């Protein structure tokens, strides 16, 4: 029985896993029932599994019958704080929580991959580690997996992940060498002025006016301070100052996010924000205090692994199912923390069809995901493990 025939035979079960998870979403580090479901499923398959320390999440281990590398496969399992509006018969049963980013599909893909790889255990080269990771949405769950030995015992050589993508048709796989997703950092600027009566502004130093200038100045970073080919987004999402309309406050506070793709540009933008805010505030008679918080770096896909994934997808699903992701997304992924430790790659699984809502953006509570993505994702994962591990690809065709 070929790999695709095995997937077809298990299609109802694999999709059923996704629907159960979708109905019962859980927020970051609260995924207790999802963790229980994963461990029980792996137990039934006879796959060794461990808890993610004292956190939610699961680490599964499958040792192949032949020597080879250790390949980790990661799926994020948490949901978003949103109220679902899809009207699906298996919609979220929890008001205010839903899987609008496709993590339920990711989890179903990895559970499906585990079952399929277990059936190829004798032909499997090396060891596969299944990382069912909590709290991706908070960009920190991967750190818990790393802390709890997800990349050790045995030590991981390569790591792969997949992510839903509404801009690609269901059943397709998207790859890209280098940056697939951007870095995400945050900053807080406290503008220090001198309060006073609004009728006598000359007797004070207005931090609100300074903050307004800073917001405008920050937008020149992308247009004037870095090369046009280097993608940068600087967004102020929160601004607060004062209590009433006739008092100039002592300070104003603004918070923002920075998205970049190039590591050197990332460092430079942080320096520019400090220089620009402090310099502009002082030039206007006030001062500024900048707190910069380094978040997650860019998701950089190893070119060699991308080539191997591409070959695996082409040989298994057909060349027409392999798509090139033309440009990186400026969204961020905490999968990047793993990539700081070991080579890896993240590929896209297409989720759209003829329904308009299947093409809507991720994190939209009405977005529809075509479930063919689960089957294609599992096929790509299994084939990639064989290709990267040096296994016999012909085993998947007979």
Instruction: Check: CB of residue 363 under 8 Å from CB of residue 99.
Output: no
> Nearest to residue 240, comparing CAs of 196, 269, 263, 207?
207
Question: Which tokens belong to 223?
Answer: 């247009």
Question: What is the pLDDT, as a whole number, of residue 138?
Answer: 83
| CATH architecture, domain defined by 183-296 | 2-Layer Sandwich (3.30)
Instruction: Check: CB of residue 250 under 8 Å from CB of residue 194.
Output: yes
Taking the C-alpha atoms of residue 362 and residue 104, their distance in angstroms, rounded to an integer, is: 13
CATH no., domain 3-181+297-396: 3.40.630.10
Scored b (16 or more CB within 10 A) or e, 223-248 reads eebbeeebbbebebeebebbeeeeeb
Instruction: Check: CB of residue 90 under 8 Å from CB of residue 22.
Output: yes
Scored b (16 or more CB within 10 A) or e, 112-126 reads bbbbbbebbeebbbb
State the residue for tokens 């992308």: 222
Question: What is the pLDDT, as a whole number, of residue 277?
Answer: 98
Taking the C-alpha atoms of residue 220 and residue 71, their distance in angstroms, rounded to an integer, is: 43
Question: What is the pLDDT, as a whole number, of residue 140?
Answer: 84
Overall pTM surpassing 0.95 (yes/no): no
Instruction: Work out the number of other CB atoms within 10 angstroms of the CB of residue 24.
Output: 19
> Nearest to residue 361, comparing CAs of 25, 88, 101, 184?
101
Q: Three-state SS for 274?
A: helix
Question: What is the pLDDT, as a whole number, of residue 344?
Answer: 98
Question: What is the pLDDT, as a whole number, of residue 398?
Answer: 86
One-letter-per-residue 3-state SS of 189-200: EEEECECEECCC
Q: Are strands 125-133 and 58-63 parallel, antiparallel or unpaired?
A: antiparallel
Taking the domains of the chain in order of start, what are their residue ranges? 3-181+297-396, 183-296
pLDDT tens by residue, the chain, 398 residues: 999 999 999 999 999 999 999 999 999 999 999 999 999 999 999 999 999 999 999 999 999 999 999 999 999 999 999 999 999 999 999 999 999 999 999 999 999 999 999 999 999 999 999 999 999 998 789 999 999 999 999 999 999 999 999 999 999 999 999 999 999 999 999 999 999 999 999 999 999 999 999 999 999 999 999 999 999 999 999 999 999 999 999 999 999 999 999 999 999 999 999 999 999 999 999 999 999 999 999 999 999 999 999 999 999 999 999 999 999 999 999 999 999 999 999 999 999 999 999 999 999 999 999 999 999 999 999 999 999 999 999 999 98
Question: Which tokens belong to 208?
Answer: 């609100």
């Amino acid at each position: 029985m070929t790999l695709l025939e095995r997937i077809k035979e298990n299609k109802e079960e694999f999709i059923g896993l996704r629907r159960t998870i979708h109905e019962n979403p859980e927020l970051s580090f609260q995924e207790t029932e999802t963790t229980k479901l994963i461990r029980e499923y792996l137990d039934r398959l006879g796959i060794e599994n461990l808890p993610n320390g004292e956190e939610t999440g699961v680490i599964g281990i499958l040792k192949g019958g032949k020597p080879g590398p250790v390949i980790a496969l990661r799926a994020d399992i948490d949901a978003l704080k949103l109220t679902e509006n899809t009207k699906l018969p298996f919609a979220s049963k929890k008001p205010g929580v839903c899987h609008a980013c496709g993590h339920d599909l990711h989890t179903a893909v990895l559970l499906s991959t585990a079952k399929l790889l277990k059936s190829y255990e004798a032909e499997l080269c090396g060891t596969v580690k299944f990382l069912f990771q909590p709290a991706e949405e908070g960009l920190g769950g991967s750190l818990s997996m790393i802390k709890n030995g997800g990349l050790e015992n045995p030590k991981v050589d390569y790591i792969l992940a997949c992510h839903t993508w509404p801009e690609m048709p269901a059943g397709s796989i998207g790859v890209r060498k280098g940056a697939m997703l951007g870095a995400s950092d945050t900053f807080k600027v406290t503008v220090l002025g001198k309060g006073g009566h609004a009728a006598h502004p000359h007797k004070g130093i207005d931090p609100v006016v300074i903050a307004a200038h800073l917001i405008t100045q920050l937008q020149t970073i992308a247009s004037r301070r870095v090369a046009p080919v280097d993608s940068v987004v600087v967004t102020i999402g929160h601004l607060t100052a004062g209590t009433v309309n006739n008092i100039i406050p002592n300070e104003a506070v603004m918070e923002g996010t920075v998205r970049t793709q190039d590591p050197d540009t990332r460092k430079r933008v942080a320096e520019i924000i400090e220089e620009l805010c402090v310099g502009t505030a002082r030039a206007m008679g006030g001062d500024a205090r900048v707190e910069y918080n380094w978040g997650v770096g860019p998701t950089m896909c190893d070119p060699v692994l991308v080539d191997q994934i591409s070959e695996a997808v082409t040989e298994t699903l057909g060349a027409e199912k392999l798509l090139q992701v033309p440009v990186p997304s400026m969204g961020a992924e905490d999968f990047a923390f793993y990539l700081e430790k070991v080579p890896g790659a993240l590929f896209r699984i297409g989720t759209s069809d003829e329904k308009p809502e299947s093409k809507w953006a991720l994190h939209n509570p009405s977005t529809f995901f075509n479930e063919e993505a689960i089957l294609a994702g599992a096929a790509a994962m299994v084939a990639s493990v064989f290709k990267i591990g040096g296994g016999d690809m012909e085993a998947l065709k007979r």
